[in-house]
């Protein structure tokens, strides 16, 4: 805690480390070699838009920023049942680096325009030939990754999630606090 924080009782908001997303292509190689999981070619950015009377205007501004920015990739927009907005980008499954660059561009566009406090997570789904899947989730506020592996309606494969954490612990900052491993039911690409 710094002197200013102690005097005012306020702390600075931690900015997300968006460059952590560039560790995913290396992690994808490890996941394929260790367990046969490959990226699906889909990635999503989830954020919480403004609430209240300004919600619609803020939502329109965010979407215009992403669609009008020549550096931002084409993104599909959806909203989940909890009111969170998802911006989904697609690439070929073999181009994980390109997908991560596109996800970084979407995140950077939002962050540069002052919406970084609303960024929640980025999700990159993986699947194996047997049909098992999980999403590698980056939590902005924590700066860590975790795996979310749905195995049916409202059920998770916790063993797979922990195996992914253990496999990637040397490559990515993996979240150790299991209470932060939130379920992303109905997330795009899952």
Please check whether residue 47 is in contact with residue 63, taking contact to mean a CB–CB distance below 8 angstroms.
no
State yes or no: pLDDT of 2 exceeds 90: no
pTM of the model: 0.85
Average pLDDT, the chain: 85
Q: Token digits for 111?
A: 């962050």
State yes or no: pLDDT of 109 exceeds 90: no
State yes or no: pLDDT of 42 exceeds 70: yes
State yes or no: pLDDT of 15 exceeds 90: no
State yes or no: pLDDT of 61 exceeds 70: no
Tell me the C-alpha distance between 167 and 33, whole Å.
10
pLDDT tens, residue by residue, 116-168: 788 899 999 999 999 999 999 999 989 999 999 999 889 999 999 999 999 99
Residue 110 CB neighbour total at 10 angstroms: 23
DSSP-derived letter for residue 29 is H
Region of 9 (left: φ > 0; alpha: ψ -120 to 50; beta: rest) is left
pLDDT at residue number 163:
97
Tell me the C-alpha distance between 153 and 85, whole Å.
21
CA distances from 11 to 4, 103, 141, 168 (A): 8, 28, 14, 31
């Amino acid at each position: 805690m710094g002197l200013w924080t102690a005097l005012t009782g306020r702390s600075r908001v931690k900015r997300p480390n968006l460059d952590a997303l560039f560790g995913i292509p290396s992690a994808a190689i490890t996941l394929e070699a260790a367990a046969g999981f490959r990226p699906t070619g889909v990635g999503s950015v989830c954020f919480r838009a403004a609430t209240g009377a300004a919600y619609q205007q803020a939502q329109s501004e965010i979407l215009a920023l992403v669609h009008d920015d020549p550096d931002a990739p084409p993104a599909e927009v959806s909203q989940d049942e909890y009111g969170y907005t998802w911006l989904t980008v697609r690439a070929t499954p073999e181009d994980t680096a390109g997908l991560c660059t596109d996800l970084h561009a979407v995140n950077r566009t939002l962050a540069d325009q002052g919406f970084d406090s609303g960024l929640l997570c980025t999700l990159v789904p993986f699947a194996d030939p047997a049909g098992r899947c999980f999403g590698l989730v980056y939590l902005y506020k924590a700066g860590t990754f975790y795996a979310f592996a749905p195995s049916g309606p409202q059920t998770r494969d916790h063993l797979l999630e922990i195996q992914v954490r253990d496999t990637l612990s040397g490559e990515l900052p993996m979240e150790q606090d299991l209470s932060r491993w939130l379920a992303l039911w109905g997330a795009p690409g899952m």
